[in-house]
Amino acid sequence: MWEEIVTAPNNDKFKDYARYAEHCLNMGASTNDRELQRIQREMAAEWRRLADANRPPRKRKQMQMG
């Protein structure tokens, strides 16, 4: 049986990845273990890079003449 693979739109990926980054930072802040804090910061940075790579394009405002 074949399973259909459905990919999430970039906007959803951006939001998910940004949320994962925030979660890593929160986990790091909740511990006194310096090594764990460093690891969580590194993980957050990677999730942020993925989020930025999947950021939806900004809508440009067109100026109206007249």
Give every CB contact of residue 35 below 8 A, 6+ residues apart in sequence: none
Work out the average pLDDT over 15-36.
96
Asked if residue 28 belongs to a domain, the reply is: yes
Asked if residue 59 belongs to a domain, the reply is: no
pLDDT value, residue 58: 80
Asked if residue 38 belongs to a domain, the reply is: yes
Asked if residue 34 belongs to a domain, the reply is: yes
Find the domain containing 21 and state its range: 10-53
Asked if residue 17 belongs to a domain, the reply is: yes
State the Cα–Cα distance between residues 13 and 34, nearest whole angstrom: 30
User: For residue range 28-40, what is the model confidence (pLDDT) as tens digits?
Assistant: 999 999 999 999 9
Asked if residue 66 belongs to a domain, the reply is: no
The total domain count for the chain is: 1
More confident call, 52 vs 56: 52
pTM for this model (two decimals): 0.71
Asked if residue 25 belongs to a domain, the reply is: yes
Asked if residue 63 belongs to a domain, the reply is: no
